[in-house]
Structure 1
Amino acid sequence: MKTIINIAKTELQKLFYSPVAWLILIIFFFQAALVFTKSYEGMVQAMAYGLKWPGMTNTIYTSQLGSLFGSIPTYLYLYIPLLTMNLMSREISSGSIKLLYSSPVTNTQIILGKYLSIVLFGGIMVLTTGAFAVYGIVTINHVDILLILCAMLGTFLLICAYGAIGLFMSSITSYTVVAAMGTLGIFSLLAYVRTIGQDIEIVRDITYWFAITGRVNTFISGMLTTEDIFYFLLVIALFLGLTIIKLQSGRQKTSTVIKWGKYFAMIFMVMLLGFISSRPTLKKYADLSATKTNTLTKSSQDVISKLSGGLMITTYVNMYDNNSFRFPPIVIKSDMERYEQYVRFKPEIKLKYKYYFQHIPGSFLEGQFPKLSTQKRLDTLKKINKWKFDILPYSEISKEVDLKSEGFRVVTLLERENGKRAFLRLFDDNSVLPSEAETTAAFKRLTTNIPLVGFVKGHGERESSNNTDRGFSMIAQDKTFRFSLLNQGFDFMDVNLSKPVTSKVNILVIAELNKTMSDGEEANLNDFISRGGNLVILGGAGHQEFMNPIVSKLGVQFLPGRLVKPTEKVSQDLLTLNPTKEAEQFSFHLREMSRQKAPLTMPATSALAFTEDKGYKVTTLFKSDAKGGWNEVETTNFSTETAHMNVAAGELEKAYPTVLALSRRIGNKEQKIVIAGNADFIANGELSTNRKNVGSGNFFFINAIFYWLSDEMVPIDMRRKPLPDDSLNVGESAWDIAAIIFKWVLPILLIIVAIVIWVRRKGR
């Protein structure tokens, strides 16, 4: 060990007597200072505006866009070849390698000593970033220290891996420039290797593991995994081992077969260990972030904990679907990472991908190749894209899964050993891929009986299958709409009240009756209410006479007319409502709605009146503004007429309830009812409308009421602990001084130290 340390000291002295090493250190620090000060400057400006910025540690240090440690790997690979190119090539070119061969020093000692010098220099590089870390720890309130330290560890391991590669390349040539270029070549190869053999599962696992691209990102995000730690250790061991073998072949003559056999044996051993370390059952995780942002929410963990036995996740990719380009074999491993957090808690999960073809009317292929048959279109695609993987006709997989009901779109099937199945879909929005909320909702279908929402029909109501602006198809059953009840963990059905409501229905929706119920229908509805069924009752202007017989038994009344608040921006009968104080206490969704200043938009809304003599506790969730608004009872045509308040007609400027939540105890169950003066707020037209200067928080409200009505089962509660690091304790003037120190004073000090050491060296 002493010999290794002595060699390391000698090499480290050479490095620090070299202007190249100092130049690298100074440029590295200066670049890091520029990134840090720019990122930190943004936070200082936010504080000057009086803003809070939760997750400030991540923004400054570890986010992938413009943060300190997120940026360092993008230019770090340029420096290491310059540091390592002389380590062995200098010995080879000068002939001093022969002296090393004749000395009592072993090959392993030589290599480990030289490598240790690079590790120490790399440690110094990382320690220079400690200046930025210490400043953040001192000035960011509730800073996430472990997140910063984890990012520093990842950066150090990346330097160590780069250093081992550079040392190996330096050992195989006497030309320093060739060694540097060869090191860059290895870096490129380790980035490219993840694209090799992706059509073959066993090859895909090995080559993807070998790729160095993105390996440091888990550390930067605050997550430690045994796979990533072993990756860096094995890559370091591989290239150090190859370097030692190279030195041995120069020190003692061996046959070519034996020499190459050693190389291949070393590579094979590392690949085998890497493959083993990447197995889900052997991987361990440690989320070091303060609020566990790299880990599933508690709700998701609870769902996964109830999944016993095996679970197969199969993604069916129709090459005719417009989203098929997202799932070719070359990106399968990347797509699998979407499920990494779930595999962490259930290693038995198996993932596979099946490719098939089935014509979809209106697909891009139909427009691209209108004259070709389905098979010929596919053959053309195979030829153009050079696809080598199997693509089966749908007829060959139709027996194992029915994809017709999914429109032959790309879809993922979750299937337990007990046969329970659930689909996880892609969506027609900017994100496309399902988030944790939709993914966990699909998993939940496998573990429990999910709530069933019944939509009453037969009286001109808003129906769940209606695709017009007034219909409810988007919120009820649209498979391509992320926030539909179907994708958030509910099932739905249409209900005809001519028959008793089945006990399977948990929530009954009645929206804008256009005619009165028959006595039998009313009796079936009353039976549902009396046994504690939950309801959503949605009225609207012009429907009061049909809706009041239903809600009067609950102590509620839809008042005649409609609420108005004339403004220049929107229609006079469009209300933009903020949650009441009661509503913020009622639901965390509504608190968030209020925090984001996202109003509930309700056109053509009836005012509500209520009493509490029917045994229900009543909570007013929304009400109209007391100023500038009233209940208009005279105007009927709001397209061409302007409403004017007429006090004599009973039109008073005051606040009216528009949404009520009713609850009571029936046995051991709490009955829950939501009554709103309007049905448009969940209709297709309103949910897909974007108004200028008017935001909408309707989805917050929809989530709030159905979460409450389903007894907090779904939609999945995605809450996490709030990020505490949201402010700074440093002012603008103090920061201006610190920025100058980081960008100019410290780099200049490094330059002075370098000059002093270089002059003293020359003097000796």
Structure 2
Amino acid sequence: MKVIFKIAKAELQVLFFSPVAWLVLVIFSFQSAILYNNIFDEMVRSQALGRDLFSATLGIFSGMLGFYPNIAKYLFLYIPLLTMGVMSREYNNGSIKLLLSSPIDSRQIIFGKYLSLMIYGLVLTGIAAVFSFFSIATVNNVDTPVVLSGLLGIYLLICAYAAIGLFMSSITSYTVVSAIGTLAILAFLGYISGVAQDVPLVRDITYWLSISGRSDTFFGGMITVEDVLYFVLVVGLFLGFATLKLQLSRRKTTWISASLKYVTVFLVAAVIGYVSTRPKMMAVLDVTRNKTNTLSKSSQEVMNHLNDKLTIYTFTNMLAQDNFLALPIGQKIDIDRFKRYLRFKPDIKLNYYYYYHKADNPFLDKRYPNNSDRERFDSLKRIYNWKFDAIPFEQLEKKADLGSEGYQFVRLLELGNGKRTFLRVYDDMMRYPSEAEITAAVKRMIMDLPVVGFVTGHSERSSTTDNDRGYKMFAQEKRFRYALINQGFDFQEVNLEQSIPDKIKILVIADPRKPLSATELEKLQAYINKGGNLVISGEPDKTENINPVAALVGVQFLPGLLVNPTADFPPDLMIMRPTKEARAMSYYLESQGKNNLPLIMPGAAGLQYTGKDYTATTLFRSDSSSWNEMETKNFIDDTVIYHTNAGEIQQSYPTVLALNRIVNGKEQKIIVTGDADWLSTGELNMRRAKVMASNYSLINAAFSWLSDGEVPIDTRRDPSIDTSLSIGEKGWATTAFIFKWVIPALLIIAGVVIWLRRRGK
């Protein structure tokens, strides 16, 4: 070890007596200051405007615009300048012959040289740490472990780059060639993740070899064994190559023997790296305060109940419009979407199938109107240069009923006991399922989740029809992320001429256009008496049909249509915010109220609770200037006028009521709404100027409450507390100047002083 330290000391003297090392420090410091100042400027400005800084620590240091990821982008430019002469200089000076003829071992030479680069890397990391520790001092309730894990990621990246640069310097006496070679290897390691991704075994190796994004987990506050081991193996691999180069320079050997040694070193690193990527080898440390890199508590509880083997089948129809979502070239990225689950259950299997079958694809129908499915696939395969084949759907027909999913991209989750469910992608910007949808799908197979029954037979709103009046979008639209079917609910139509099935946990009666018979009301009463949960929604023009139903729970739909004339909207458009009681009842409504987002009802009746059996909570109510309009029917041509003699009363009316009571030791829950359009497909798709509706907040709140919190899955985490800074605009202006100009100037002065002292000696 003494020899290694002596070599390292000598190399450090050469480094710091060189203007290149100081120039790198100055440029790195100046560039880091620019990046950090831009980020922190925005933070200070936002605070001055009175805004909370959501998770300031992660906002400063991680993400696409974060400090650490951005300085990591430039490190590959600095390290080759430092390493290009470490060994090349020995060749040029002729001192390499003295080293090789000395009793010093080749490993001691390489490790000594590398130790000096590690120490220099600590200096570079120390410059980044200046900004990091400033944030620790000025961000209130800063998430310090995240800051430190990011510094570790920076340092490991520098060490990996330095090992590569040292190897390149050991194989040539030309410093420029060494620098260019280092850049070439770094470019190769960044590019290789996309090589041979359609070959299963090779896919795993090339994906593992890629250095691109390896530090991002550290920047986000997560330390993984796989990533730490990757950096250790890369360092070991290239130090091994450099050591081999020196050893082979000392004694002659055949090129075959030399090649075998290099290949052996590579294969050892590759095998260890491949093993480290296996799910059973996964080990992570999430250092974030709120565990943002780990499954939420709700998801962890679900996974803890998963005692059977889980297989996820991914079916891609190459003739569908979404055939690009999980192509072989992107399979490793797709598997990463389930990494959080694989850490909890490493034996989850993921299988991919590619098939062809006619699907809803107007482009292909127009381009190849007379071609068979096989001919269409062959044409696409040739045009896109696909290196894989697909099978006809007939060979998969027994595995899954993909026809019910329209032969679109879909996943099938299956347990060892045969239980299965679909996991879909969605027609939105995100496309892929989030933690909430994945966990809901798993929970559907291992627990009995609520079944929602929709009453039929009286021209009620249907959960299966696509028209604007229907409820399909919020209930059963498979490609809509927030549809209840994708959040864990199942559905069944209920005819009140028969007894309501026991498995119905939530019954929906939505705007019956015909009255219910006495027999049907009796069966509904029996369901209520047993403690069944219920949703009742009606329209002001058919109160005579809905009131007999509402009366069973002590609620009355009041006569008239609620109006509240404004300059910008029709008078019958109710724009309402959640009440204080509503916000206390549901975090969905608390968020809606906090963001000042309204619930919109395009025509509603006022509600009144007249019963005694339930505790009634008003969730939404109209403005105090509203009244129940009894006369006007045409709100386009006529003007609404408040007439007390017509029975109109101006006051705030409840429009959404939540009722609850204890029945047979269990809490019964009922939601009554004075409008049925608020959750219709037409209203949910409606866009109005000057107002952004949040009707889905009430949908989620209502059905979460009615299902006793079982679904939708609550993936919330504790709110971030690092939301403010302890430094003001003036203090930051001074600090920003020091970062940008004073620190680089001090480094320049230090470099000049050392250079002058060296020159004087």
TM-score by shorter chain over 0.5: yes
Tell me which amino acid in the other structure corresponds to 1:571.
P
Tell me which amino acid in the other structure corresponds to 1:584.
R
In the alignment, does 2:243 pair up with 1:257? no
Tell me which amino acid in the other structure corresponds to 1:96.
S
Retained in 1: the 8 A contact 2:302–2:442? yes
Once residues 472 and 390 of structure 2 are traced to their aligned partners in structure 1, the CA distance between those partners, rounded to angstroms, is 33
Deviations 1:383-437 (A, max 9, x none): 1222121211111111111100000000011111111111110111111111111
Q: What is the deviation of 1:130? A: 1.3
Deviations 1:160-197 (A, max 9, x none): 00000001111111111111111111111111221222
Gaps of 5+ in 1: none
Once residues 351 and 154 of structure 2 are traced to their aligned partners in structure 1, the CA distance between those partners, rounded to angstroms, is 33
Once residues 91 and 97 of structure 2 are traced to their aligned partners in structure 1, the CA distance between those partners, rounded to angstroms, is 8
Retained in 1: the 8 A contact 2:321–2:361? no
Retained in 2: the 8 A contact 1:35–1:66? no
In the alignment, does 2:3 pair up with 1:3? yes
Once residues 331 and 680 of structure 1 are traced to their aligned partners in structure 2, the CA distance between those partners, rounded to angstroms, is 42
Tell me which amino acid in the other structure corresponds to 1:206.
I
In the alignment, does 2:283 pair up with 1:284? yes
Tell me which amino acid in the other structure corresponds to 2:374.
Q
In the alignment, does 2:429 pair up with 1:424? no
Q: Match of 2:179? A: 180
In the alignment, does 2:510 pair up with 1:515? no
Aligned with 2:622 (options 624, 627, 630): 624
Q: What is the deviation of 1:371? A: 4.6
Tell me which amino acid in the other structure corresponds to 2:52.
K
Tell me which amino acid in the other structure corresponds to 2:318.
M
Q: Match of 1:409? A: 408
Q: Match of 1:633? A: 630
In the alignment, does 2:304 pair up with 1:302? no
Please show how residues 523-534 of structure 1 align to structure 2 within 5 Å.
523-534=522-533
Q: Match of 1:704? A: 701
Deviations 1:27-61 (A, max 9, x none): 11111111111101111111111111120011111
Q: Match of 1:119? A: 118
In the alignment, does 2:732 pair up with 1:735? yes
Please show how residues 220-369 of structure 1 align to structure 2 within 5 Å.
220-369=219-368
Q: What is the deviation of 1:752? A: 1.0
Retained in 1: the 8 A contact 2:321–2:360? no
In the alignment, does 2:518 pair up with 1:548? no
SS of the counterpart of 1:508? strand
Retained in 2: the 8 A contact 1:360–1:408? yes
SS of the counterpart of 1:184? helix
Tell me which amino acid in the other structure corresponds to 2:534.
L
Once residues 320 and 570 of structure 1 are traced to their aligned partners in structure 2, the CA distance between those partners, rounded to angstroms, is 45
In the alignment, does 2:57 pair up with 1:53? no
Tell me which amino acid in the other structure corresponds to 1:625.
D
Once residues 12 and 365 of structure 2 are traced to their aligned partners in structure 1, the CA distance between those partners, rounded to angstroms, is 65
Q: Match of 2:648? A: 651
Deviations 1:106-165 (A, max 9, x none): 100000000111111111101111111111111111001000000000110000000000
SS of the counterpart of 1:401? coil
Tell me which amino acid in the other structure corresponds to 1:616.
Y
Once residues 338 and 181 of structure 1 are traced to their aligned partners in structure 2, the CA distance between those partners, rounded to angstroms, is 36
Once residues 716 and 190 of structure 2 are traced to their aligned partners in structure 1, the CA distance between those partners, rounded to angstroms, is 36
Q: What is the deviation of 1:648? A: 2.3
* RMSD of aligned alpha carbons: 1.1
Deviations 1:611-633 (A, max 9, x none): 242x111111110111x322211
SS of the counterpart of 1:126? helix
Once residues 635 and 697 of structure 1 are traced to their aligned partners in structure 2, the CA distance between those partners, rounded to angstroms, is 28
Once residues 319 and 77 of structure 2 are traced to their aligned partners in structure 1, the CA distance between those partners, rounded to angstroms, is 43
Deviations 1:290-349 (A, max 9, x none): 111101110011111111121111110111121111221111001111100011111111
Q: What is the deviation of 1:463? A: 0.9
Deviations 1:440-472 (A, max 9, x none): 111111111111001111111111112111111
Deviations 1:494-514 (A, max 9, x none): 111111110011100001111
Aligned with 2:742 (options 741, 745, 763): 745
Tell me which amino acid in the other structure corresponds to 2:139.
I
Deviations 1:651-693 (A, max 9, x none): 2321100000001111121111000001111100111111111
Please show how residues 321-720 of structure 1 align to structure 2 within 5 Å.
321-613=320-612, 615-626=613-624, 628-720=625-717
Once residues 189 and 553 of structure 1 are traced to their aligned partners in structure 2, the CA distance between those partners, rounded to angstroms, is 72
Q: What is the deviation of 1:241? A: 0.4
Tell me which amino acid in the other structure corresponds to 2:756.
V
Tell me which amino acid in the other structure corresponds to 1:666.
V
Retained in 2: the 8 A contact 1:146–1:289? yes
SS of the counterpart of 1:326? coil
Please show how residues 82-161 of structure 1 align to structure 2 within 5 Å.
82-161=81-160
Tell me which amino acid in the other structure corresponds to 1:515.
K
Tell me which amino acid in the other structure corresponds to 2:412.
L
SS of the counterpart of 1:606? coil
Once residues 323 and 597 of structure 2 are traced to their aligned partners in structure 1, the CA distance between those partners, rounded to angstroms, is 35
Once residues 631 and 403 of structure 1 are traced to their aligned partners in structure 2, the CA distance between those partners, rounded to angstroms, is 50
SS of the counterpart of 1:325? coil
Gaps of 5+ in 2: none
SS of the counterpart of 1:743? helix
Deviations 1:11-31 (A, max 9, x none): 111111111111111111111
SS of the counterpart of 1:590? helix
Q: Match of 2:22? A: 22
Once residues 171 and 513 of structure 1 are traced to their aligned partners in structure 2, the CA distance between those partners, rounded to angstroms, is 83
Deviations 1:522-579 (A, max 9, x none): 1111111111110000011101111111111311100111111111222211111111
Q: Match of 1:163? A: 162
CA change 1:647–1:356 in 2 (3 A) is same
SS of the counterpart of 1:227? helix
Q: What is the deviation of 1:640? A: 2.5
Retained in 2: the 8 A contact 1:612–1:618? no
SS of the counterpart of 2:27? helix
Deviations 1:682-715 (A, max 9, x none): 1001111111111111111101000010111000
What count of residue pairs does the alignment treat as equivalent?
761
In the alignment, does 2:42 pair up with 1:42? yes
Retained in 1: the 8 A contact 2:556–2:610? no
Tell me which amino acid in the other structure corresponds to 2:667.
E
Q: What is the deviation of 1:589? A: 1.1
Q: What is the deviation of 1:759? A: 1.4
Deviations 1:221-269 (A, max 9, x none): 0001111110000110000001100111101112222211110110010
Tell me which amino acid in the other structure corresponds to 1:759.
L
